[in-house]
């Protein structure tokens, strides 16, 4: 196969970069097109990432102009500082099922990272683990839920044949909501209330929303500061991400826990908007918005992104109480949720996995981060 790998340097090449997934997944009924504007904004010279990171994108193009693949290499200096290692990243990877194309894309990314002084490379991570990351390696028989990755089954094979190794797996759990939670979850809620913990829905409007987001940011930093391969976000970045979700939050499945006005935990659930986004073809123009609003009414699935509590309040059973409230809110709606995904959880996060499994969650998808050394040369 004759092809070339080109760095993305012009607006026209960026449009080709954004077009690649539509070619790769054109026959895949489970794929949900990403919003083009969102991906373009992440790679923009004005993106917040550019304040603390560097990136370069490439596209693979066949001899007759067909789009064959894409990749982005990135140096996240916050991650390098947090990890104490020269770790580069690759992400936004899409590719036809051809080893030569995949290895050429990976080689371009690795060579660029070596030139930047990186000694290892890890991915897929789209600039940071706060964005899309991970390859799906098990569970290809259903579509992805909101803000979860999806890829053809051959992607892991492309990397493994190119000499990449597993760094860590993550698990997604499914939880049908037609069965009640075990009674200890309601009991935990009552114990937490008697211990002085109060619960309420997240605020979504005005100054109260901004204040809640600031409290969430503080809680995120305190609870998840040592997450593997994670880099810190500024409050401004966090608030900007929160604004994007402000109109999408369902307060029934987003309770927060407080003690004397201080937020000590939260349960972050979102409706599975992929059920609506699947119909807009990656474009929220006027027609896309109308389609989104129409199909949004049919959403009966949710994704649980985070169950968080400060360590000192776990003994007061705050995590179990939040699960109880979040699940109750989801099934007592006029149009109740019938199913939820709890994702994602690192494979070695045994405390969270035990809690999810106690609620009835069953593992049903596995995801993977790969890595390799950049010190040797020869293989991509």
- Give Cβ neighbours of residue 351 (< 8 Å, ≥ 6 apart): none
At 2, list the tokens: 């004759």
Domains of the chain, with CATH numbers?
Answer: 3-168+369-373 (3.40.630.30), 179-337 (3.40.630.30)
Specify the pLDDT at position 379. 54
pLDDT value for 377: 53
Using the structure block, give the residue that is written with the tokens 């954004």.
18
DSSP summary character for residue 262: E
SS3 6: strand
Handedness of CA 84, 87, 88, 90 (dihedral sign): negative
pLDDT tens digits for range 164-173: 999 999 999 9
- Residue whose token pair is 């077009």: 19
> How are beta strands 135-138 and 120-123 bridged, if at all?
unpaired
The Cα 74–Cα 88 span in angstroms is: 6
List pLDDT tens digits, range 97-138: 999 999 999 999 999 999 999 999 999 999 999 889 999 999
| pLDDT value of position 332 | 84
Contacts of 274 (CB under 8 A, 6+ apart): 32, 143, 144, 145, 146
**Confidence (pLDDT) at 229:** 83
- Where helices occur in 3-129 by DSSP H, the ranges are 11-24, 36-43, 77-83, 99-115
CA 289 to chain centre: 23
Contact predicate 355/345, CB 8 Å: no
Q: Which helix (H) or strand (E) holds 264?
A: strand 262-271
| pLDDT beneath 70: ranges in the chain | 376-380
CB atoms closer than 10 angstroms to residue 247 = 7
In which residue are the tokens 């200096």 written?
Answer: 77
Task: Give percent helix, percent strand, percent coil of the chain, each to the nearest 5.
Answer: 40, 25, 35
Q: Kindly provide the b/e burial profile for residues 299-314, where b requires at least 16 CB atoms within 10 angstroms of the residue's own CB.
A: bebbbbbbbbbbeebe
Is-cis flag, bond preceding 344, omega within 30?
Answer: yes
Residue 278 CA to residue 150 CA, distance in Å, equals 13
- Between CA 78 and CA 239 the distance in angstroms is 18
Tokens 């007061």 correspond to 316
């Amino acid at each position: 196969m004759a092809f070339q790998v080109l760095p993305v340097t012009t607006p026209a090449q960026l449009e080709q970069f954004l077009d690649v997934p539509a070619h790769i997944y054109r026959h895949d009924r489970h794929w949900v097109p990403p919003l083009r504007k969102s991906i373009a904004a992440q790679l923009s010279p004005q993106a917040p990432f550019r304040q603390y990171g560097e990136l370069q994108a490439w596209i693979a193009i066949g001899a007759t102009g067909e789009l064959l693949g894409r990749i982005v290499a990135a140096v996240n200096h916050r991650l390098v500082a947090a990890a104490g290692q020269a770790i580069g990243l690759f992400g936004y990877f899409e590719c036809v099922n051809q080893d030569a194309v995949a290895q050429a894309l990976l080689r371009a990314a690795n060579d660029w990272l070596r030139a930047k002084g990186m000694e290892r490379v890890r991915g897929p991570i789209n600039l940071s683990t706060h964005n899309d990351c991970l390859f799906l390696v098990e569970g290809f028989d259903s579509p992805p839920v909101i803000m979860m990755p999806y890829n053809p089954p051959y992607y892991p094979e492309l990397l493994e044949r190119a000499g990449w190794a597993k760094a860590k797996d993550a698990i997604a759990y499914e939880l049908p909501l037609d069965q009640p939670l075990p009674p200890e979850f309601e009991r935990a809620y009552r114990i937490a209330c008697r211990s002085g913990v109060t619960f309420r829905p997240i605020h979504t409007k005005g100054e109260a929303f901004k204040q809640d987001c600031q409290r969430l940011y503080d809680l995120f930093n305190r609870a998840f500061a040592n997450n593997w391969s994670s880099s810190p976000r500024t409050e401004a970045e966090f608030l900007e991400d929160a604004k994007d979700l402000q109109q999408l939050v369902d307060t029934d499945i987003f309770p927060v826990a407080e003690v004397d006005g201080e937020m000590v935990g939260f349960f972050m659930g979102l409706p599975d908007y992929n059920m609506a986004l699947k119909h807009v073809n990656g474009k929220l123009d006027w027609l896309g918005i109308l389609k989104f609003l129409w199909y949004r009414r049919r959403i009966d699935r949710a994704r649980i992104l985070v169950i968080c509590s400060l360590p000192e309040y776990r003994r007061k059973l705050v995590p179990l109480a939040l699960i109880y409230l979040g699940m109750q809110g989801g099934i007592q709606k006029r149009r109740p949720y019938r199913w939820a995904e709890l994702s994602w959880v690192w494979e070695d996060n045994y405390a969270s996995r035990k809690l999810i499994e106690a609620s009835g969650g069953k593992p049903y998808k596995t995801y993977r981060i790969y890595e390799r050394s950049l010190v040797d040369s020869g293989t991509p």
